[in-house]
Amino acid sequence: MGHPDISEAELGMTGYVMFRKDRLGRRGGGVILYVKESIQAYEIKLEKEAECEEAVWCNIVTGNSTLTVRVVYRSPNMVIYSGHLYRVPGERIKSF
């Protein structure tokens, strides 16, 4: 999900696929995951993703294995153990 004021071209890197989740409603923030184009990867959409959560989930396929990667920004004032940060991905995955 991209911020309307920041184009994909501004953040993109040649040779890489970009998965991004921008902070909405405030200036700055968000997360980006870059995966080399030669690596098969796809974003995971979550069923009940918190609107305030700045996180990207991605599956990276290597041979017969799939690696699930999550990039998340945790603000300094967030409680260190926050249940929604540690949920099992399978509980929240809606579709691939």
- pTM (2 d.p.): 0.70
pLDDT bracket for residue 5 (50, 70, 90): low
Kindly tell me the burial class for residue 56, based on how many C-beta atoms sit within 10 Å of its own C-beta (0-12, 13-18, 19 or more): buried
* 14-56 residue pLDDT tens: 999 999 888 777 766 788 999 999 999 999 887 665 555 788 8
Residue spans of alpha helices (H) in the chain = 8-11, 89-92
Contact present, 40 and 63 (Cβ < 8 Å): no
CA torsion sign, 67 to 71 to 76 to 80?
negative
For the chain, which residues make up each domain, given as ranges? Answer: 8-95
User: Residue 81 has what pLDDT?
Assistant: 54
